[in-house]
Every structure is written in structure tokens, then in C-alpha cells.
Structure 1
């Protein structure tokens, strides 16, 4: 009954807002294509890195590998294809938010997203926003946000892509996607399947990666329809389910298994007026797992959460220089699990955003958000940001923010070990960036500082039981550099992109670098194309990290290379054959202690575009 009342008032509010909007026919391309428009309109002072479809196509194995080789984010992966946790600017996995078409999809159980449960085959682009985002995206948006975008193009088109990939360790990957539309109706639908024995050899040993097999299926369907010249309905859907064995370590074998089942549905109604744009979203998010200590037995532990999201965005263009935006959001979250009971939570948030362009060269934003969370007093959070275009080629970006993270269901209620006395984390940060765009060269340089209090961390107590506590303050500071270069000469195309990050992340009490945070991380991507032929080279350098025992895990260098040929570039149907060699120098490396990653391996892929 409570949910029905909330839906009723939210719809009424939305309709009243539409009623005040002029009905002139207006087309804003970004508004039509993107569900998360505020990423572009309210992030002028933030660093945003866009990975387009050409980058996604070169990294189709896992979402972890895509970001490992194309971003500053460090990943702690328990073996290839296993649980994968990000560290963004030295923050932990639950302080990095994943945003699906404008909705935060971090788990309500552990507060994070396992990046090996996301298949990027059917996304239009992936955007990486550095810095705090709690004002726009809520709890957990401290280190940065990763955005999964589906675009709907309202133009006359119909095209499809089919891929078949075979690789080492009996790895198979199949996908089919279709994108279609006209001026009134648009859609894209994609399905994919991945299966692998994942039984790679541990280099310099007689062992193999046992119990590491996995498979997953993904369905992505998105539709849009103009019901009038100024109103468009869009439906987004994603289903992902996987069956993974959890491989052991060099010294401890495993027989465990894990099954994920996640689906997401969202209906969005957008109204586009001359001065007022309104967007109303209703979303249902479902996450569910089963964990088998011994996959050969029927006993398992389980957990599941259903989340209902009601969200209304209202944008008012006061003038061509000033824009005001309000966001009202209500979430109701219901969980059930063998280890944490049947908790529930309600969250209501109100957000106000101001964007002002006093001159053509200066833009700034002022943003406030207040959450009302059952069981907690959430802090008032804010962000300020500005972009100053000093010259045609050189700009300065600056942002500062207060951010937060509330304890998850696992933190509070897990038995044994949960701590119901936890309080929300609170974080302040500042980021100064410079951007230089000169002809074919693009350079970004950012320096940042983050301080977090009441950090939630699971630690063993005196009896050896792991339990979460609010620890003393941590601080993070460092620099990030990003260089891009493009050169085209007749039929030759050359592109180079490199990223480097230096990160200090310390527990102020112990004055020690936090676990699994490298001081140095760098990657480089070089690609070359000539007519129907293309090739690329990827390199990753990962500095040493400290493990749980305070031992040092050595640095490593890993390289991949790929070559592709388009057999019919001038016809309506293109056949592209690609060969990729991963870890070409057969490097032994671990990004989690005692969990070796794959040796040299091969993938051959055929892509048909029609």
C-alpha cells in the first residue's frame, strides 16, 4: 500500500511538471540518446573518460580486462573470471558506483559490483567519471563512477552484428545484437553467451587452475517510442545469470560454486520542452545468488534483494546561461537471505543542481543533496565544480565534494559478524585538472585529495571472527595523467592512448599504504589501421601492492596484441576475422596473493556486420 501511494504522488508530481512545460517541438540529441544526461550536463569540472564502441570491441573477454587496460582503475581479481573488485584512486570496491542508464546498481548486500558479472557486448559506451558523485548518484559514489550506457537512435537504420569467438582453455563466446529505428521508434536488442573451462597452467609449477570453470548469459533489450513531438517513452531491460566455480589458491584447493541471477527493468518517460525538460523513471532491480561450499552437494547459502526505484528529474533553463535541476528519488529495498534475515530499507532523496555559464569560457555548478534513510541519519552532501577555458586549447577543471556511504545489509546483519552499530562513512575531496587539446594531441592531468572518516572495514576480532567496524580516518592523494594522439594519412590511421596514476592511500592511524593499492599503475594502447587491415597492442604495468599479511606482491608487466582483417569492407555485409594473443610474453603475475593469472593464451574471433 505504501509503495502504491508513493507511485501515485510521484506520477502526479511528474504530470504537473509536464503541464507547465511548453509543447513546442524541440529535439535535444543527447537528451534523446542518453538516459543519464546529467553526466554530461552537470559534470563540467570533472574528469570524464569515454570508452566508445571501437574500444569495447577490442576487449570483449571481461569487463575487468576492458577497464584494466583502458582506465586508471586497479582491479583485485581472485583469478581470471572470479570475483573482481575495483580500487578507484585507492578507495575500496564499495566506494566505486556502477551506474546503469542513470541508476546506481551497486549491490545492496555488499555495497559493490563484481565487474565479472557485467557483459559489455551490448552497451553503446562506457564512461568513467573520476571523483565524488554522491550528490547525483547516492551512497558509495566516493572514488568515482562507471557508467553503462545504452543509446537509442531515432533515425532510419537497421544493422546487426554477430560474433563467434574461440580461445584457449576451451573458451567460447557467442553474441548477436541488432540496432534499428526510424524517426519515431528505436531499439536495440542483444544476447551473448560465454563459457570457459578456465583451466590454465600456473607458470613455473606443475599445477593448473582447477575448479575455475564458468559460464554466463546476458540479454539486453532497449526500446524507445515518441508518443508525441515532445514526449518519448523508453524501456530498458538487462538480464545476467552466471554459473561459476570458485578456483582455489596455490596452497588451498576449492570445490565451491556460485550462481548469480540479476535482472533490471526501467521505464522512462521524457518530456522535452523549450525551457523545461522532465524525466520520470520507474525501475526494478533484482539481485540473487546461491553459494555452494561443495558444488557436488545440494546444500547452499543464498541471498536476494529486490529494489524499487522511483525517480523524477526536472530541468529548467532559466536563460541561455542558467539551468536549474531538481531530482526526487525514492527507493524501497527488501532483502532475504540465510545469513542476514529479511531486512528492508527505505530511502528518499532530494537534490538541487545549479549550472551557470557567466561567460562563454567559464562554467560552474553548485549542487546539494539530502537523503532520508530508514535507520540512519545521512549527511547533507554537496559538490561544486567549474571549468575555465583559458585558451582555445587549454582548460582548467576543478571540483570539490562531500560524499558518503551507508552500511550495507551484510555489514549490519550478517551472521556471524554483522555490526548493527555502524554509522555511515563520510568523505571530502578536491580535484584539480588541466586539459590540453592541440590538433591531434589530447592531454589530461589531474591531482586530487580525498579524506574519509568512519571507514567501514571488515577485520578479525580477538576471537578470530571477522566483523565490520568504523575505523579511523584514511586519506588518499595522487596524480593521474592521460595522453591521446591520433594521426591520419591517406589510408593510414594511427592512434595512441596512455594512462598513468600515482596513488597514496593511507590509514592515518597506522601511516601505511592500504592493502591492494599500487603506488604506480600505467597502461598504453597503440592501434594502427590500413584499409581493411588493423592491429593493436596493449600494455599494462602494475606496481607492487601490500597483501593482508603486509607482504609485498611484486610489480608486473602484461601485454596483449591483436590483428584483424575486413574481408568485405565495401559490401553491405562485412566479415572481420581477428586473432588476439593475451599475455604475449608469458608473464607470471598475481593481482591477489597466491592466485596466479593466465599464461599466454589465444583467441580467434569472427565478426559479421550486416
Structure 2
């Protein structure tokens, strides 16, 4: 039996076993689903971020509501060390790079299982809304929770999205929330979320969302860098978007020691792809269209057999479809129309052993099979089977925490046409420590080292006339030292936290596209080398003021010196890498009063360069983005109403995150929602 057949049977067995466990949950009887109140969960989140040996940033549901965020990408911009590459508008592509390592080094998890895109290697986080999100976590290197699938150890950073989990008080059976957002540029966004208690041991949730916008925002187009140069008032073209998201989940408590959940997710979108602005021809800047469709089903099972032993298993099937159309492409057909289909099967088993209260040992094995189909001429139809296994340990004493793990990755590449890329196998270590030197001060010092790599994507290897099959994986080294400080429990200052980290990241064998013969013929090569030195600062606080007024405020600051170290003879040697600002940051403040709540958010960035050469012609100016919101909660006998209005980018600046892709100026948004 070959490797492919073995992994198929492995996934089938995982799915069958967990599905059987889900059925059993409906036949048993006593315990109810119990969840900690939100205030306790929030406190635990804060403590976890302070005491973690690996830098961790967490946004709770309440914090997300205060950020004027429509999509996950709006929230992620408030994490330190993060650069969101935003191509403008609601439907524009949004990818996240952490500490200058690039979007392909950032893993995105969704309720315990990683999302994947074997074609491009990066996840468009703009497609995820904040409607049913309970929390968002960003871990540098990885989480210090070692009981997790092996794939969570395989990236330079992990952004994890956690959905809501049903919770019921005594006598309750149904919860729900409906909301409607509307605003500038044709935005209409109705959502619905339902929770249902099926039995004492089973519950279900269902959420749905529709988003539509024309995205035709005005902007000022300047025809030169000088204030005296001519300009014109334009409207962004081909920016319409329509998204549909449906998600269902089933939660079961099988026995006093075991539980399971299953999820089905469906997403579909049609959008215009706004092109780069072309001087004197903005009406025809782009006619390109993109259709996306994603479906996945995943199951999770966990059993804490004893105080010392625990087991968890995960399985997932993922289908991705993409249809791209350029009706103005200059070829014999008069258009360019491509379709791509991804299929992925995934299974994981993890075991945790705790021989002593202070010591945990874990091991996990993951198996993934991914394929890509396309309607391209002479396409190779690649398939990649990846085996990842990890051994990890965590030691926790009163004032000291240490985690260590070793990840082993092995791949098997197959193609239907031609020769496949070479197979890879690699060992990747990670070590992290944290210590609290003083008894009466919540001050922690931490440090970590991690070596990780990222495989070339299918586009890197096989894309027509561009891909190169002998590419090596990118190799990343991460070093970090930092401290955290926290205060909690005071009547006037319930919570205060501060974190500071300095780091150095290096990448070798960086995969870059270079011209081969001319500017129209490119190829992917391994020659890049990047060194990133940086500082991340973050602060969060809550103050209780007189007259039942509270103030929560926080901010982040990042400094990144991300230099191209590839070729000392090149004009780009020791230049800042494109679209990575030296300095950036964010701030937020919310005042809660008995009558209403006022929130303010700030995003700012220093200068960046659009290309590798740091010359004035490639320079993008810095920007600031100020937003405000006013909200009120109205309680009736049976329902709770939430009403809010938002003013976004009140400075009305059409700044550019990506050159020639102007961001929307001032806009307004209103939301009405009801909890029942």
C-alpha cells in the first residue's frame, strides 16, 4: 500500500471514529455544557499573555467590538509587529506579514485547525468577518500550549481565530443574534447567529452572513509629488463585492472526560479586482473579476482519560475553487480566463502525558494530502503529501516556565505531467523560557529561539513559464528576548499590562521572482537573504472612574529594520524590503458610561518603499487613520438591542498601503443588532 493510500485510510478512520463519538453524545445523559463567564475568560486571556514564554497577543470579543472592525484584517492591524498588505476597499486582497517575514510564514488557524492554500501559500484574511468571533490570538513562533496538532508548530507565527461556543443558563435552550450593518459605498451586511441546546450533552450553532458593496469611493489622484502638481477627483472602479458565508457547528459532551465538535463552513464571493491607478485612464484601470468558493468540514475530539493522559484527534476536508477573468487580456482569445481547484485531506492525532504537575510531554502526528487542478495548458496537476510529527515538553514551576519541541517534516511530491519537485525532510527545533524574578511583582522575562522553514508553493514550483521545480524551502531563524509586566485587582486599576520584545529574524534561500530575459519573462529563484531587527511594544489598561464610568485604553508600537542582505554588489543591498515600514503603531480608547459608549482607534505607519531600491521614486509616505464610534445598549423585557454609528478615517486621507491602490477616505457605518 503506497503512502497516498495509507493517508487516505488514516483520514477516513479519524473521521469515522470521531463521527461515532458524536453519535454517542446524543445517547447519554447527565452533564450539561458549562462555560466560564466572559469576565473570567478575559482575565485568563490577560494572564496567559503576560506569563507566556512566547510573545502572545489576544483580542477578546469585547475588545474587537471597540475597534470599529468589519473584517478580521481590521483587528489584526492593531497587533504589534504586524503588516497587513491591503489592496484597498472591502473586497481587496488582505494578507498579513508578522515581523517582516512575509505572509507565507504566517499560519492562520480556525477553531483548532489550520487554514491552507497550497497554490499561493497565503490566506486572504479579508474574507473573515468579526460577527461570530470569540477571540483572536497572535503567537510569535507558536503557542506555548504544547497539546495541539503538529501543523501549529510549523510556521514562524500563528494567527488563530476562535468562534463562539454555545453557553446556556439554567432553563435556557435558544440564543440568537441578528444584526444589520449599512454604510458608505453601498455597504449592506445582514448577519444572523443562533445557538440551540439539543440535549443536556449536545448543542449546535448556526451563523450566516451576506455582504454587498459597490465600493466606489472617491479619491484624489495627484499627478506628481509636488503640491503644485495637477490633481483630479476620481472614483474607484471595479470595486464591487458580494460575499456569502454559512457556518454550522455541533458540540457534544460524550462522557465526563471527553468531548467533540464538528463544523461545516461555506464561503462564496464575487468581486471586481480594482487595478492599480493609471494616470489619465482611471475608468479602464481594471476589468478583472474573481470568483472564490471555499468549503470545509472539520471534526475535533478530545478525551482527558486521567489526570496524566489526554488524547485529541482532528480531521478535515477542504475544497477551494477560484475563477479569474480578465476580459481585456491581449491574446488570440481576447481574454484570459483561468480556474483553479484545490482539494485537501487532513488528519491529526496528539497525545499528552503529565507525569508530574509541573511537567507535560506531548507528541502529535499530522498527515496532509493536497492537490491542485487548473485549466492551464499542459498543467502538471501536482499533489503533495506531507507528514509532520512533533515531540514537545513543557515545564512549569512557580517562577519559571520552559517549553521545547522538535518538529519533523517530510514531503512527497507527485505530478501527472513532467518531473515533480524534489521531496524534502527537515528537523525544526524551538526552545522558549520565561522567569519571574520577584515574588510580589508580576514581572516576567522571556526568550525564545526557533528554526522553521516554509515549503515552496505550487505557484512557486509549477506556474507556467514562472515556476522552478528545483527551489529550496525558505529557512527562517528567529531570536527573541523580552519582558512583560502586569497589575490586576485594584479597585481603580483593575488591569494593566505592558510587553516589550526585541528580536532578530533571518531568512535565507528566500524565494523571489526575477526577470529572465526581459520584464515580461520571470522566474522564481532562491537567492534572497533578509535580516530583520525589531522592537515590539504593547500596553493594555482598564481604569474605573467615578459615576460608573470606565476607560479601557491600549496601544502598540513596532520598529522593524528589515534589510535585503542578498548581494553586497547590488544597489538594493542593505535596503529596507518593500512595504515594510520602519515604524508603525496603533492605539485605541473606549469610555463606557451608563448612557452610551464612545470608542476611538488610531492606525499609523511611517514611510515605506514600493520596490527593493530605496530611492525617492519608490517611496510611499506615511499615514494616520483616525476612527470614532458611538454605541448604546437598550435592554427590554425580552431582548437586548445594540445600536452604533461609526465614522471611519475621519481625516479623509486616501493613503496607499500598496502603491497606486488608494484606500477609502472618510466613510460612515451604522449597525443595529438584537440579542434574543
TM superposition score normalised by structure 2: 0.82
Alignment partner of 1:159 out of 172, 175, 181: 175
Residue 184 of structure 1 pairs with residue 196 of structure 2: no
Relative distance call for 1:430 and 1:53 in structure 2 (3 A) is same
- Whether the 8 Å CA contact 1:49–1:128 is kept in 2: the answer is yes
Distance between the aligned counterparts of 1:331 and 1:88, measured in 2? Answer: 25
CA distance in 1, matches of 2:182, 2:53: 43
The match for 1:457 among 492, 496, 512 is 512
Match of 1:73 among 82, 96, 120: 82
What is the aligned counterpart of 1:355 among 391, 394, 401? 394
Return the alpha-carbon distance in structure 2 between the equivalents of residues 55 and 494 of structure 1: 12
2: CA distance between counterparts of 1:140 and 1:415? Answer: 32
Q: Distance in 1 between matches of 2:548 and 2:402?
A: 42
Q: CA separation in 2, counterparts of 1:276 and 1:54?
A: 35
Task: Write out per-residue CA displacement over residues 108-134 of structure 1, whole angstroms, 9 at most, x where no aligned residue.
Answer: 100000121222322221111123679
Question: Is the 8 Å Cα contact of residues 79 and 595 (structure 1) preserved in structure 2?
Answer: yes
Residue number among 474, 486, 497 corresponding to 2:542 in the alignment: 486
* SS of 2:486 mapped into structure 1: strand
What do the CA deviations read for 1:10-67 (whole angstroms, capped 9, x no partner)? Answer: 689999xxxxxxxxx999979xx99xx9xx79x9311111111123334442222221
Provide the secondary structure at the position in 1 that maps to 2:485: strand
Query: Contact (CA 8 Å) 1:285, 1:307: kept in 2 or not?
Result: yes
Aligned to 1:448: 503
Match of 1:558 among 604, 625, 640: 625
Report the Cα distance in structure 1 between the residues aligned to 2:154 and 2:603, rounded to whole angstroms: 26
Counterpart check, 1:255 vs 2:312: no
Note closer, same or farther for the CA distance 1:70–1:423 as it changes in structure 2 (3 Å cut).
Answer: closer
* 8 Å CA contact retained: 1:165, 1:604: yes
Q: Does 1:149 align with 2:149?
A: no
2:290 is paired with a residue whose SS is: strand
Instruction: Tell me what 2:55 maps to.
Output: 47
Match of 2:485 in 1: 436
CA distance in 2, matches of 1:441, 1:93: 31
Partner SS, residue 557 of structure 1: strand
Which of 289, 301, 309 lines up with 1:276 in the alignment?
309
- In 1, the alpha carbon distance for the partners of 2:129 and 2:69 equals 8
3-state DSSP of counterpart to 1:65? helix
Aligned runs of 1:25-64 on 2, under 5 Å? 44-58=52-66, 59-64=68-73
2:425 to 372, 378, 382: 378
User: In the superposition, relative to structure 1, how do residues 469 and 255 fare at CA in structure 2: closer, same or farther (>3 Å)?
Assistant: same
CA distance in 2: counterparts of 1:28 and 1:445, whole angstroms:
36
Cα distance in 2, alignment partners of residues 123 and 9 from structure 1 = 31
CA contact (8 A) 1:95 1:141 kept: no
1:322 to 359, 368, 380: 359
Range with greater deviation from structure 2 (241-250 or 177-186): 177-186
Structure 1 unaligned regions, length at least 5: 16-24
Asked if residue 99 in structure 1 is aligned to residue 165 in structure 2, the reply is no
Residues of 2 paired with 1:549 and 1:185: CA distance? 55
Q: Could you tell me how far 1:92 is from its partner in structure 2?
A: 1.1
Query: 1:45–1:398: 8 Å Cα contact kept in structure 2?
Result: yes
- What is the CA distance between 1:88 and its match in structure 2? 1.0
Does the 8 Å contact 1:493/1:528 carry over to 2? yes
Query: In the alignment, which residue of structure 2 is the partner of 1:365?
Result: 403
Distance across 2 between alignment mates of 1:52 and 1:226 = 25
- The 5 A counterparts of 1:486-525 are 486-489=542-545, 490-509=547-566, 510-525=573-588
- Taking a change above 3 Å as real, the CA distance of residues 236 and 290 of structure 1, as seen in their structure-2 partners, is same
Give, in angstroms, the shift of residue 172 of structure 1: 0.7
Describe the SS at the equivalent of 2:63.
Answer: helix
Shifted more, 311-320 versus 221-230: the winner is 221-230
Match of 2:473 among 406, 420, 424: 424
The answer to whether the 8 A contact 2:272-2:288 is kept is: yes
2:667 to 590, 601, 609: 601
Q: Deviation digits for residues 522-546 of structure 1, max 9, x if unmatched?
A: 1100101101400100111111111
Query: Who is 1:174 aligned against?
Result: 190
CA 1:457–1:472 in 2, change beyond 3 Å: closer, same or farther?
A: closer
Look at both structures and tell me which one has the larger radius of gyration over its CA atoms. Answer: 2
Deviations 1:339-385 (A, max 9, x none): 4431101111111111112x311111110110110142232001111
Does residue 292 (structure 1) correspond to residue 325 (structure 2)? The answer is: yes
1:538-549 to 2 correspondences below 5 Å: 538-548=601-611
For residues 16 and 289 of structure 2, what CA distance do their matches in structure 1 show? 47
1:441, CA displacement in angstroms? Answer: 1.9
Following the alignment from structure 2 to structure 1, what is the Cα–Cα distance between the partners of residues 243 and 134? 20
Q: Which has the larger displacement, 135-144 or 470-479? A: 135-144
Distance in 1 (CA, whole Å) between partners of 2:82 and 2:442 is: 27
Q: Separation in 1 of the partners of 2:477 and 2:621? A: 32
| Cα offsets for 1:491-542 (capped at 9, x unmatched) | 2010101000000111112111100000011110010110140010011111
Match for residue 569 of structure 2?
none
What is the root-mean-square deviation of aligned Cα atoms in Å? 2.9
Instruction: Give the drift of 1:572.
Output: 3.5
Q: Which residue of 198, 202, 211 maps to 1:194?
A: 211
Q: 1:267 to 1:131 in 2, by over 3 A?
A: closer
**Local SS of the residue matching 1:94:** helix
Give the SS at the match of 2:275: coil
Give CA deviations for 1:396-446 in whole Å, capped at 9, x if unaligned: 121111111001111111002111010111111111121110243210101
Structure-1 separation of matches of 2:81 and 2:176 = 32
**Cα distance, 1:206 vs structure 2:** 2.2
Unpaired segments ≥5 residues, structure 2: 20-30, 222-231, 413-421, 489-494, 567-572
How far apart are residue 3 of structure 1 and its match?
4.0
The 8 Å contact of residues 226 and 233 in structure 1, kept in 2 or not, is answered as: yes
Which secondary structure state, in structure 1, belongs to the residue aligned with residue 459 of structure 2?
helix
SS in 1 for 2:116: coil
1:471 counterpart (523, 527, 531): 527
Contact 1:27 1:272 in 2 (8 A): no
Residue 648 of structure 2 corresponds to 582
Cα distance in 2 for residues equivalent to 1:580 and 1:11: 44
Distance 1:28 1:406, change over 3 A: farther
Q: Which residue of 1 aligns with 2:264?
A: 237
Q: Does 1:266 align with 2:298?
A: yes
Give secondary structure in 1 for the equivalent of 2:208.
Answer: strand
